[in-house]
Amino acid sequence: MIILMLIGGGIGSTAGGIKLTRVYIIIRMLIDNVIKKNSSDRYVNRLHYYRAYGKSIIDEATSRDAFYFAGTYLIIYITGVLALTLTTNGTLTETMFEFASSLGTVGLSVGLTGPAANPATLIIEIFGMILGRLEIFAVIMGIYAIFQQIKIKYKKWERPCH
């Protein structure tokens, strides 16, 4: 169940998770890499996947983005699980389930989340839900843009030293 919550829904769904398309691209790239290692130097294969508007080629940028997203997602997942382990009295399996549910915006619980939960636990899960719902890189880019605007406004008000 935890693995399914981490994978999430389809590319256009509102479910969180890594998304089925990214998982499919990663698996195709791994299989193709094994085939290339065991084939002649002249082996050529154009990998593709199907989107709503037709067939799309899995190029280097697409595969790199899928790997980066999955890696970032798993790092955030592991960090969130460890943080929940520190703030709850739950086992590792329970905290893995809880944070996978919040990061995947699933809504299932094994009882660690509730009205009587530690406020730190709830804050960690809120951040997980925000990252899962809005996509990780969109949130990171939003935070980066906010800091850039603050930096620009700060420089505007800064007085030059005479």
Q: Which domain holds residue 26?
A: 2-157
For residue 162, tell me if it sits in a domain: no
Going by DSSP bridges, is the β-strand pair 48-51/54-57 parallel, antiparallel, or unpaired? antiparallel
Residue 69 lies inside a defined structural domain of this protein: yes
In whole angstroms, give the CA distance from residue 94 to residue 112: 8
Look at residue 133 and tell me if it is in a domain: yes
Domain count, the chain: 1
99 belongs to a structural domain = yes
Helix axes 60-87, 92-103, angle to 10 degrees: 130
C-beta separation of 124 from 84 below 8 A = yes
Per-residue pLDDT of the chain (162 residues; tens, 9 = 90+): 999 999 998 877 878 899 999 999 999 999 998 988 888 888 778 888 888 788 888 999 999 999 999 999 999 999 999 999 999 989 999 999 999 999 999 989 999 998 889 999 999 999 999 999 888 889 999 999 999 999 888 887 766 665
Give ∠ CA 65-68-74 in degrees, rounded to 5. 140
Both structure tokens of 34: 């094994």
Q: Is the pTM of this model over 0.95?
A: no
Any domain includes 106: yes
108 found inside a domain:
yes
